[in-house]
Amino acid sequence: MDWQAFFLTIRLATLVSAILLIAGLPIAYWVAYSRWRWKFLVESIVALPIVLPPTVLGFYLLVALGPRSPVGRWWQQMTGHTLAFTFWGLVIGSVIYSLPFAVQPFVASFQTVDRRLLAASSTLGASKFTTFRRVIIPLSVPGLVTGFVLSFAHTLGEFGVVLMIGGNISGVTRTVSIEIYDQVEAFNYAAANHIALVLLIISFVLLSFVYGINRNSGAVWPWK
């Protein structure tokens, strides 16, 4: 078993879900409480990665991160190399790819916080940010854990986006799902099975954990 690919994947998934935990909160707050009439458009954009083929997302990200785009050019000027085919390129792609898996459970749990508690907090002198920190966040812990775990699990298994923007560079961008693909290509079914089994078990354990902490709801989707 290629432990390098394994630990690279764990590192990627941890980093991505940590970034999403921080970046997803303000997005989820806005989605949960904004009354803007065009909000549904933003919600659609956030949800896009669920339905979009990973290759489509990967392709546009590759273009966006490449040296011909403003972002890619800026990054190249700053660091001397392109973002595509690097670990950090992979992180950016994965963050976008897993965004709905973090944001949607966050939004769902924010929306279940009783509005009266927010009003009470406000009349007790708390600003919106204080209310967020002291009422909404503590009451949304199951949703936050769900979002963190789901984005972690989702990043573990991604394939298309990684292949498009990361390629297959050992120790840099080769994740376990690509490793499995490589082993199958090389007819090493036993090795492929090993890795696949580990991924299967990890995914099952993580999902059991998510359903476990949300077991009162008993819904098909763990965050509903």
Partner 1 sequence: MAVEMMSEELSPTGLTHAVFDSRVRKRLSSGERSFELNVSFSIQPGITILFGASGAGKSTLLECIAGLITPDEGRIAFADRTIFDSEEKISLPSHKRRIGYVFQDLALFPHLNVLENIQYGILNMRGKERERAAHAIAESFRITKLLRHKPSQISGGERQRVALARALAVDPCILLLDEPLTALDVPTKSAIMDDLRAWNAARKIPVLYVTHNRDEVLALGEQVVVLDEGRKIAQGTPYDVMTVPRREKIAQLAGFENIFDATVIAINEARGTMTCRMGETNVNQPSVDIETPLVHAEAGAKLRVGISAGDILLATAKPSGISAQNILPGKLIAMTQQDVILTATVDIGIRLAVHLTLAARDSLGLRPGGDVWLIVKTHSCHLMAE
- Residues near partner 1 (CB under 8 A) are 114, 116-117, 119-127, 134-135, 138-139
Nearer of residues 25 and 62 to partner 1, judged by Cβ: 25
Least distance between partner 1 and beta carbon 131 (Å): 8
Least distance between partner 1 and beta carbon 122 (Å): 4
The continuous run of DSSP H or E covering 93 comes out as: helix 87-112
Contact 175, 9 (CB under 8 A): yes
Nearer of residues 53 and 138 to partner 1, judged by Cβ: 138
Identify which of 95, 97, 86 has the alpha carbon closest to the alpha carbon of residue 52.
97
Output the CA–CA distances (angstroms, integers) from residue 4 to 16, 63, 163, 187, 190, in the order listed.
Answer: 18, 28, 17, 20, 18
Least distance between partner 1 and beta carbon 116 (Å): 4
Nearer of residues 20 and 108 to partner 1, judged by Cβ: 108
Least distance between partner 1 and beta carbon 112 (Å): 12
Nearer of residues 119 and 186 to partner 1, judged by Cβ: 119
φ/ψ region of 80 (left if φ > 0, alpha if ψ in -120 to 50, else beta) reads left
SS3 call for 172: coil
Nearer of residues 125 and 218 to partner 1, judged by Cβ: 125
Nearer of residues 1 and 119 to partner 1, judged by Cβ: 119
Q: What is the DSSP string of 174-222?
A: --HHHHHHHHHHTT-HHHHHHHHHHHHHHHHHHHHHHHHHTTTT--SST
Please tell me the distance from the alpha carbon of residue 72 to that of residue 64, in angstroms, as a whole number: 6
Please tell me the distance from the alpha carbon of residue 35 to that of residue 80, in angstroms, as a whole number: 43
Least distance between partner 1 and beta carbon 132 (Å): 13
Terminal-residue alpha carbon distance, the chain = 37
Least distance between partner 1 and beta carbon 114 (Å): 7
